[in-house]
Amino acid sequence: MFSKSCEYGLRATIFIGQQSHLGTKVSLTTISEAIDSPQAFTAKILQQLTKNNIVNSIKGPHGGFFIETEAMKTLNLSAIVEVLDGDSIYTGCGLGLKQCNDKKPCPLHFKFVAIREELKNMLQNTTLLMLVNDMELDIFHLKT
Amino acid sequence: MFSKSCEYGLRATIFIGQQSHLGTKVSLTTISEAIDSPQAFTAKILQQLTKNNIVNSIKGPHGGFFIETEAMKTLNLSAIVEVLDGDSIYTGCGLGLKQCNDKKPCPLHFKFVAIREELKNMLQNTTLLMLVNDMELDIFHLKT
DNA sequence: ATAATAAAAGATATCATTGTCTTTTATGTT
DNA sequence: AACATAAAAGACAATGATATCTTTTATTAT
Ligand code: FES
Ligand code: FES
């Protein structure tokens, strides 16, 4: 469904959000251990997320990654996915045709678009804050 | 969503089904032109589909690929996807956790599984014959 | 039998994704 | 100012997916 980059990026963002909610910034090492991801690769992903203002970062001692609580209210998963995987998941044809639209549809088009839209809506309607709040229930996990 | 192999495989199978419905076997060259796919790569995919009894093939002059009409009634898209992409699309965690289950869910689990199940149902409930019949409407396309 | 046709099989090549390693830049502490 | 910390940036490596090419096998037609 999503690329590895996107999977790690989503997990990392949720973890950063969770910790920021508790008032603490987190370092790359802490993140990659918390979400069980390859550290150097995760660094690259965090660079992209930082560049695209999904997360904030501060260099130097006591630096690290964080997200403002206010930003968590409006940040939805769709924004993260779009940064890391582009919008092909929202616009791409299920059968790989170059164009996907109602005018010249593939035989799976209408059935496929219905599900694609649900996925899109789910990602757009799910904010980081929702997931961070859910995480407080101690039911959900970010590794294995 | 699906791999290139799976996209080409689905398109190829639909085309073979369509032509078989008209009573004609089709060659690799005909298929790859009809669905606009790389020929040699498509050959490899058709080998997999043949080995897994999704399509039939006959070597030699007047040979080619075909599917029995009876088989089209029971062959659903899910079977094709499973041969070419495995079942990770049905069982994999949206955030990339090694296990996906209700016992130790990721924060996206329940929302994600809901959509994953819809996709699964759609693929299981859509038979090749349905798509082949739809193709007769001249509304749907298998390339560009 | 020979030649032609067409898929199967095997080997190899290309590319994007995934992943690592090293150097640089920014910031805080002593 | 010197040092330590931590992210940013750039170069490089490994892997798997995608794609091609060649050889073999099966079948049909002459
Ligand atoms: S054209 Fe294939 S999903 Fe829209
Ligand atoms: S555990 Fe993540 S989708 Fe099920």
Torsion of CA A44, A45, A47, A50, to 10 degrees: -170
Note whether residue A34 is domain-resident: yes
Note whether residue A76 is domain-resident: yes
Contact criterion met (CB < 8 Å) for A4 and B139: no
Tens digit of each residue's pLDDT, chain A (144 residues): 999 999 999 999 999 999 999 999 999 999 999 999 999 999 999 999 999 999 999 999 999 999 999 999 999 999 999 999 999 999 999 999 999 999 999 999 999 999 999 999 999 999 999 999 999 999 999 998
Note whether residue B140 is domain-resident: no
Note whether residue B72 is domain-resident: yes
pLDDT tens digits along B53-78: 999 999 999 999 999 999 999 999 99
> Looking at beta carbons, which residues of chain A come within 8 Å of B118?
115, 118
Number of domains in chain A: 1
Note whether residue A142 is domain-resident: no
Interatomic CA distance for residues B91 and A106, integer angstroms: 26
Note whether residue B141 is domain-resident: no
> Looking at beta carbons, which residues of chain B come within 8 Å of A129?
none
> Which ligand is in closest contact with the Cα of A104?
1
Task: Note the CA–C1' distance, A9 to C17, in angstroms.
Answer: 15
**Average pLDDT score over chain A:** 98
Domain that holds residue A79: 4-134
Query: For residue A63, what is the domain's CATH number?
Result: 1.10.10.10
pLDDT-flagged residues of chain B (< 50): none
Q: Does the global pTM surpass 0.85?
A: yes
Q: Do residues B108 and A19 touch, judged by C-beta distance below 8 A? A: no
Q: Which two tokens stand for residue A102?
A: 């109602």
